[in-house]
Amino acid sequence: MPLWLMALIITVAGLGLGVGQPLTMSFLAEAAPPGLRGRAMSLRLTGNRLGQLLIPTAAGVVAAGAGAAGVLGFTAAGLAVAALAARGLHRSPSSVNRPGREAGSTASRRGKP
C-alpha cells in the first residue's frame, strides 16, 4: 500500500475517532440535569480510563490463551453487551418539554406555568 494512501486512511480514521469525545460530552451536557453535569462528566471520564486500562489487559490475557480468534470473539462479545446496554438509554418523559415551555427557563425550573 502506498505511503500516501496509508496517511489518508489514518487521517480519516483519526478524524472519525476524534468525533466521539465531543459528541459524548455534548450528549451528557444535554442529558444530565445542571446540578449533576460535573458528576456525569467525571463518571464518563472514569469509565473511559478504566476501559483504556482493562480492555488491553483482558485482550492480552485472552490472546495468550485463545489466540487472535479469541480476541476477536472477546471484542464481539463486548460490543454486543455495549449494544444491549445502549438499548436501555432513552430520554425520560420528564425531560421532554411541554409546549409553551423552554428548556432551562425560570418558570420551568420553579414548576410554574
**Nearest to 103, CA basis, from 33, 17, 21:** 33
pLDDT tens digits in sequence order for the chain, 113 residues long: 899 999 999 999 999 888 888 888 888 889 899 899 999 999 999 988 998 999 889 888 888 988 889 889 888 998 899 889 888 776 555 554 544 545 554 444 445 44
pTM: 0.54
> Distance between CA atoms of 37 and 64, rounded to whole angstroms?
40
- 3-state SS assignment for residue 59: helix
Q: Tell me the residue length of the chain.
A: 113
Q: 68: which 3 cell numbers?
A: 487472535
> Distance between CA atoms of 20 and 89, rounded to whole angstroms?
17
Q: 62: which 3 cell numbers?
A: 485472552
- pLDDT for position 98: 45
- pLDDT for position 107: 47
How far is C-alpha 112 from the chain's CA centre?
35
The answer to whether the CB of 53 falls within 8 A of the CB of 45 is no
